[in-house]
A and B are shown apart, each in its own frame.
Chain A
Amino acid sequence: MADYDIEKIDDFRWRLPKTGGMRVPAILYATEDMLPDILSDDAPQQAKNVAHLPGIVKASLAMPDIHWGYGFPIGGVAAFDPDDGVISPGGVGYDINCGVRLMASKLTVDDLDRRSRERLVDHLFRRVPTGVGSSGAMRVDDAELQRVLQRGAEWAVNDGKGSQADLDVIEEHGRVGGADPDAVSGRARERGLDQIGTLGSGNHFLEVGYVSEILDERAARVMGLNKGTVTAIIHSGSRGFGYQVCDDALSDMDKAMKKYGIELPDRQLACTPIPSPEGQKYLAGMRCAINYAFANRQVMAHNTRLAFEDALDLSPREHGLFTVYEVAHNIAKFEKHTVNGSKQEVCVHRKGATRALPAGHPLVPGRYQKVGQPVLIPGDMGRYSYVLVGTDRAMEETFGSTCHGAGRQMSRRKARKTAGHRNITAELANEGIVVRGQSDRTVREEIPEAYKDVTDVVKAVEGAGISKAVAQLRPLGVIKG
């Protein structure tokens, strides 16, 4: 275990006190059982490094799924004063607005026998291109791309791919303002032309599953989730477009830091003052990437509906696939929060963390006003995922934020080694889970054992009171990039 000076606050909260150049403490959310794993990684040091950034308010926060990232840890949350604070591309990540959409249907798990599951997953695999080398689900020209960057999911809905009902339940309604296509490089735009509607690779997936446990009857009912309901989860982001926006900004900021007299313990924490030209340029470009990711998921959601129709020979009315909610996992946004007893606007960075607003918050869609904003926590392809809701406690403590997933515990090579000569696809098929991956190697790298048990993460955030479990979902079929 790395040698951290750590103070126990309670069973679910741990403080890394201010030392050296830290401006605020770092607070870690975890159960005692999770601590040895977390502390054996460099991630807590990264949470401490974040506390050095100018203008950070309250604390550098780390969710229980914290693990090592570039600059900021994954699972990191930090808020900055809009006048004196900084914006950091490393606090958002390369995959800007990587996020999750949950859809639910009128079908139940009993409606999907083995053959129809296979047919459905094969159709999804054809409709939703994965990884590099596949031509995109659609190709746009530069003028059309500019509209994508400014209008997000709304652009896709206007193109006949989805409806207003989808937009009503996407974080920010699927579109953020202040996106300026002139703020992004030609290289980023080129990477964006043929990747709309594509899943990507790594831990991104599209999963068909069902509701296996209801943990909060009332909230589940409001979300249209009954025991046995067939669901679809789409986990993906802004693809090459967003990666390039991040890369370009890191390079700009690396050069500009001297100008602003900012010295940091890690080059990947590169940041500039929010009001600076470099900060404003990144914000305008990041918002383009946020909208790109919203459009990308909307197109994939549309193609998921088409796959249900083709594979199962059902009309839209018969499958009834509707969007429950869509959340961003990698994002920076200006929000109002209480800091030192008074309400103020802050720039919240969430990197591998989820917004978790409580019931009654004005940004929670009308449908969820009484239960709180849905929070979607994907696990691994062999076990389960969770649906939670935000709480008042999250608003008070974590800038309305919670965890985002299980987090890997094995490197890809170790996962391949662990998989050995096993036929992972056949093993999962025996458990009723149909898997299609870009390659056999992809599937082996994504074996369930490569991930932590997401239940531990959910227990920690529930214990801390920063979100509340609503339902558990189990997979029936998965496509991996």
Chain B
Amino acid sequence: MARATPHWLHEIDHTADVGINVTAPDRNTLYERAALGTFGVLTDLTTVEERMSKKVTVEASDPERLMVRWLSELNFLHTTKHLLFSRFDVEVSGPDDALTLRAACHGEPIDRDRHPVYTEIKAVTYHDMKIQHHDNIWEVQVIFDL
């Protein structure tokens, strides 16, 4: 992430904090890319190898809440288990008011010698968050409190 920013990811300038804008061709990929974007805020993803996998399930009553819960869960795993992930297989199911996200997250524990840790995320906020879907493009903006 540090070297080549993918076309689907834009960092949002924000005075005190940081945000990402992510686009994707489908809903599952949107949640996967948002997770990748989140870990790109935390570290250089090219340094993270797939040495272990972790299963994550979250539920929510609307797509934005599902996004916040999903990214918050990953941040929780990062801060308490000291894990970094560089690939996600996500499957979102259910109607918009009863969504379930199941994911396999691939990565490894933080190794200070190999992983630069840029910052920490205090919280994933709802600020200006809206998941939009038009012309087969899914888009979301997420602002993190740093």
Contacts and interface: CB of A to CB of B under 8 A. Distances in A.
A111 to B, nearest CB: 33
Contacts of B82: 132-133
Interface string B77-111: 01110100000000000000000000000000010
Contacts of B15: 41, 67-68, 408-411
B120 A200 contact: yes
A322 B125 CA distance: 39
Nearest to A352: B16
Given A133-B82, A133-B115, A442-B119, A411 B126 contact: no
B16 A74 contact: yes
A131 B122 contact: no
A411 B126 CA distance: 19
B123 A247 contact: yes
Nearest to B81: A190
Contact of B18 (A68, A410, A412, A481): A412
A246 B123 contact: yes
A442 B119 CA distance: 7
Nearest to B73: A187
Interface in B47-93: 72, 76, 78-80, 82
Contacts of A244: 76
Interface residues of A, number: 40
Residue of A68, A132, A268 with most partner-chain B CB within 10 A: A132
A82 B7 CA distance: 51
A191 interface: yes
A68 B13 CA distance: 13
Contacts of B145: 70, 94, 243
A445 B76 CA distance: 24
B14 A187 contact: no
B76 A187 contact: yes
A267 interface: yes
B116 A439 contact: yes
Interface string A182-204: 00000100110100000011110
A88 to B, nearest CB: 14
A131 B123 CA distance: 14
Nearest to B41: A412
Contacts of A187: 76
Contacts of B14: 68, 411
Contact of A268 (B117, B118, B126): B126
Given A41-B15, A201-B119, A409-B15, A133 B110 contact: yes
Contacts of A45: none
B118 A414 contact: no
Given A202-B146, A268-B125, A413 B112 contact: no
B114 to A, nearest CB: 11
A94 B120 contact: no
B16 A132 contact: no
B123 A94 contact: yes
Interface in B113-136: 115-120, 122-123, 125-127
A240 interface: yes
A450 to B, nearest CB: 9
A278 interface: no
A411 B76 contact: no
Interface string A259-270: 000000001100
A441 interface: yes
A405 to B, nearest CB: 11
B119 A131 contact: yes
Given A70-B125, A70-B145, A132-B110, A413 B120 contact: no
Given A132-B78, A413-B13, A243 B122 contact: yes
Interface of B: 11, 13-16, 18, 42, 72, 76, 78-80, 82, 110, 112, 115-120, 122-123, 125-127, 145-146
Sorted nearest first, the 6 A-B pairs with minimum C-beta distance are A411-B13, A133-B110, A243-B122, A132-B120, A94-B122, A201-B120
Given A200-B120, A412-B146, A441-B118, 14 more contacts: A41-B15, A68-B15, A70-B125, A132-B78, A133-B112, A193-B80, A202-B119, A243-B145, A267-B126, A410-B15, A412-B18, A439-B116, A439-B117, A442-B119
